[in-house]
Amino acid sequence: MDIASLCVFLFVYAGMMLGEWPGLALDRTGIALLGAILVLATGSLSMEQAWRAVDISTLGLLFGLMVVSAQFRIGGFYSRFTRWLAELDVSAPAFLAGTILAAGLLSAVLANDIVCLAMTPLLAEGCARRGWRPTPFLLALACASNIGSAATLIGNPQNMLIGQTLQLSFLRYLLQALAPSLAGLAVVWLVVMARYSRNWIGPVAVKAVEPPPFLKWQTAKGVVVLAALMLAFLCGPWPRDVVALAAAGVLLLSRKVASYRYIELVDWNLLILFIGLFIVNGAFQHAGWLDHFLGWVVHRGIDPAHPGWLFGLSVVLSNLVSNVPAVMLLLPVARHPLAGPILALSSTLAGNLFVVGSIANIIVIDQARRVGVRIGWWEHALIGIPVTLGSLAIAAIWLALVGTLLPGG
């Protein structure tokens, strides 16, 4: 077997685990890109084989949905919505519930990372104006956005990958994942209330935020396109990647918004990360290392294809190497009829455990720091750990009830 492909694979996934390589200014995307370059340079894959290893349909779906999400940013929807939410005349527990529900619902149909990026500064400012500590609400935003994104096949990148690779039905998955996702949002409210219910009040200096202007026509256009997109996903026979790209094409046909504004809002780092990991994993599988490793673990009584093991391995790997790389590792053994919901729910819900488990967590903490709100990893863990354990337990029970985790189910 090709030793070079194994070395590159270990180099890349060690970098995914560490988040960087000590002494080098390489983040996860840079590590994945360098790994793809090494695969080609060592001859582990030819250029044609590398191209075939890349799942173009997943990339097309990702790109199309990024353009749709960009439309809402250009129209100022997130800022206007967050301002409206922050000005509601309600109690702190009710405001917390509204924040959780809004973050969960928006993340189910739009990218959860963008929801966190746009809402965090204005939410922190709104809490400070009320005399409330922003931290509980910001932690709820991060956790709820992760959990809400698990409800659909377009809520986050790993769900898009799972849906495209396993050819899952959008409606069927929604029916399978909606109940545990909604219950998970309730867990967030209960955990945050238990931790902060007597500690809402606190003087916090938050920097004023100047939101982008609200453009009614651009926002309305985004709403119409998103509604048509969801209807096509739920009822239409067309491939999701083609529908998403068509929606992006419609939005690019604008007389007032230059196309470069959409293009610069696309998360190119995420797309490059996907491409790099596709190529590195392709070389690992092409060389026979994946089959060798699976045979080794099965011989020791661990069957990654079994629903219970798949659920557990997904949770562990998602916290070791992040959820997208974890899903890519486990998809080749996702042969159970309901392996899609197992992978999607477990990998997404596991992201709340620690700060580094999800990009959404990192975005909330970074954006909060920019406006003067400091959230440490321990403060996040005091919320993230019980939320993760509670939501994962609910998901496991739900999947068991529908036969997913039962032997032979």
Q: Give 25-46 pLDDT, tens digit per residue.
A: 888 899 999 999 999 999 999 9
Burial (CB count within 10 angstroms: exposed 0-12, middle 13-18, buried 19+), residue 224: exposed
Reported as a single tens digit per residue, the pLDDT across 48-93 is 999 999 999 999 999 999 999 999 999 999 989 998 998 898 999 9
Q: Given pLDDT bands bounded at 50, 70 and 90, which one contains residue 403?
A: low
Residue that wins the pLDDT comparison between 152 and 293: 152
Give the pair of three-digit tokens for residue 27. 């983040």
| Structural contact between residues 324 and 161, judged by C-beta atoms closer than 8 angstroms | yes
Identity of the residue numbered 62: L
Q: Given pLDDT bands bounded at 50, 70 and 90, which one contains residue 336?
A: confident
Specify which of 78-87, 299-308, 397-406 reaches the highest per-range mean pLDDT: 78-87
| CA atoms of 172 and 271, how far apart (whole Å) | 27
Instruction: Report phi then psi at 132, rounded to 5.
Output: -100, 150
pTM (2 d.p.)? 0.89
Q: Is the dihedral of CA 310, 316, 318, 320 positive or negative?
A: negative
| CA atoms of 208 and 121, how far apart (whole Å) | 9
Residue that wins the pLDDT comparison between 18 and 142: 142
Q: Is the pLDDT of residue 405 over 60?
A: no
| Structural contact between residues 197 and 88, judged by C-beta atoms closer than 8 angstroms | no
| CA atoms of 338 and 344, how far apart (whole Å) | 10
> Which string of DSSP letters, residue by residue, matches 174-218?
HHHHHHHHHHHHHHHHHHHHHHHTT--B---------PPPP-HHH
Number of neighbours of residue 388 by Cβ within 10 angstroms: 26
Q: Given this model, what pLDDT does residue 389 score? A: 97
H or E, element range at 287? none
Give the pair of three-digit tokens for residue 169. 């039905």
Distances in Å between the Cα of 225 and the Cα atoms of 49, 72, 110 are 36, 11, 12
Q: Is the pLDDT of residue 202 over 80?
A: no
| C-alpha angle 401-402-407 in degrees, rounded to nearest 5 | 80
Q: Given this model, what pLDDT does residue 408 score? A: 44
Q: Is 175 left (phi over 0), alpha (psi -120 to 50) or beta?
A: alpha
DSSP H helices in 207-354 = 216-235, 240-252, 259-264, 268-286, 289-299, 307-321, 323-330, 339-349
Q: Given this model, what pLDDT does residue 409 score? A: 44
Reported as a single tens digit per residue, the pLDDT across 136-177 is 999 999 999 999 999 999 999 999 999 999 999 999 999 999
Burial (CB count within 10 angstroms: exposed 0-12, middle 13-18, buried 19+), residue 364: buried
| CA atoms of 98 and 187, how far apart (whole Å) | 14
| CA atoms of 30 and 35, how far apart (whole Å) | 8
Q: Given pLDDT bands bounded at 50, 70 and 90, which one contains residue 227?
A: very high
